[in-house]
């Protein structure tokens, strides 16, 4: 977890009116108590009124609340543009999750920005010269498997191959090429890293078992450019 994500999480916990000790926070985020001290200092420097109760822990000053999120017109336009790009992925799960998230985000737009964003939405079109009518519905679930280190079982069909192979994989990363999502995973059948096109996964199952992180690095992968199973 990045420091920014941890700071947001700590603030969320403090906003729940809880009294938290540095040790509790350190255990929760798997960091040292010294790191929590630095995090609390960062929050204070950002103007968050964190109160230290000697011998008991941290809390937020009574009556403090976070101002509602405000978006500029350019930021709203960026989200609308991103929506059109997301729609090109042809992965139903990812598109659906993004649409639901965007609907929640739009709910905090000012009326004037909401109207302008709707106008812009009707004036954007993304052409795909490499269109291939193969859809998928696995991206969102496999993203969760990546962040939670869950094994995944897949039935996979390579391009120009009628055979379907069963694989047990450890999912590590994604990249997009020609509007297609590519999953990089450790394949137990090949005993090596392999690349799998999400839209060629015929069936998948997220297992409850977790794997040990192999510390995969996407930059190193591209540099070595191994054989893939696309």
Backbone angles phi, psi at 213, to 5 degrees: -60, 125
| pLDDT above 70 coverage of the chain, percent | 91
What mean pLDDT is reported for the chain? Answer: 86
pLDDT at 229 over 70: no
pLDDT digits (tens, 9 = 90+) for 133-165: 678 889 999 999 999 999 999 999 998 888 999
Q: What average pLDDT score do residues 33-62 get?
A: 88
pLDDT value for 86: 87
Question: Which of 23-27, 204-208, 210-214 has the lowest average pLDDT?
Answer: 23-27
pLDDT digits (tens, 9 = 90+) for 109-122: 877 888 888 888 88
Decide: pTM greater than 0.85: no
């Amino acid at each position: 977890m990045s420091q920014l994500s941890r700071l947001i999480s700590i603030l969320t916990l403090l906003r729940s009116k809880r009294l938290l000790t540095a040790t509790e926070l350190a255990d929760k985020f798997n960091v040292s108590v010294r790191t929590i001290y630095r995090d609390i200092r960062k929050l204070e420097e950002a103007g968050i009124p964190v109160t230290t109760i000697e011998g008991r822990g941290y809390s937020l000053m009574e009556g403090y609340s976070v101002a509602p999120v405000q978006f500029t017109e350019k930021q709203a336009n960026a989200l609308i543009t991103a929506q059109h790009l997301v729609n090109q992925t042809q992965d139903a799960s990812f598109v659906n999750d993004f649409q639901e998230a965007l609907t929640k985000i739009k709910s905090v737009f000012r009326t004037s920005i909401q109207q302008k964003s709707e106008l812009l939405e009707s004036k954007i079109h993304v052409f795909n010269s490499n269109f291939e009518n193969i859809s998928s519905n696995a991206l969102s679930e496999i993203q969760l498997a990546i962040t939670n280190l869950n094994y995944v079982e897949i039935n996979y069909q390579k391009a120009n191959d009628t055979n379907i192979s069963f694989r047990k994989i450890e999912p590590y990363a994604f990249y997009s090429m020609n509007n297609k999502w590519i999953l990089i995973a450790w394949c137990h059948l090949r005993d090596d890293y392999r690349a799998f096109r999400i839209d060629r996964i015929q069936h998948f199952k997220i297992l409850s078992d977790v794997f040990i992180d192999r510390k995969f690095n996407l930059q190193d992968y591209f540099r070595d450019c191994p054989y893939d199973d696309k």
